[in-house]
Amino acid sequence: MEITELQDIEVKKYIKFDGECITQIIDFKPELAIVNQACEIFNYFMNKGYKTRVKSPEILFLSLLYGSLNIKDILNKISTSQTKYMIKCCKNDLLTSVSNLDKELRVKLSSIAINSLDTLI
């Protein structure tokens, strides 16, 4: 897993899924636990062959990072942000263990997990 800060770049050239790794651009530096969970859910869905209402793997991963299916608003936020972060995770990444999560982060992680179920067909 990789989180890299970028300055006002053309994001489309970085966004991709090659079957092994997914790369996405977001407008905030996410908590490690959120990236871990997004990678874990994304890889689980891909490995199990689940069909989702979100046809693009890149958009599915984006929705997992934000915990929202309101893609239009997410894309607007990203396009207006000066600082962006590239998030990359691969199938074989060893995810970092995260402990001592505060209540707000646990609620956000739960919300992301519940929203991810809403994407399934």
What are the extents of the domains in the chain? 2-118
pTM of the model: 0.89
Distant-in-sequence, close-in-space partners of 18: CB < 8 Å, separation ≥ 6: none
What is the strand order of the sheet 83-90 is part of?
Answer: 2-7, 83-90, 21-26, 16-17
Higher-confidence residue: 97 or 74? 74
Q: Compute the distance between CA of residue 39 and CA of residue 44 in angstroms, rounded to an integer.
A: 8
Q: Tell me how far apart the alpha carbons of residues 25 and 61 are, in angstroms, rounded to a whole number.
A: 10
pLDDT in tens, 100-118: 788 888 888 888 888 888 7
Residue with tokens 């990444």: 93
pLDDT at 106: 87
Domain spanning 2-118 has what CATH number?
3.30.2380
pLDDT tens per residue, range 54-68: 889 999 999 999 998
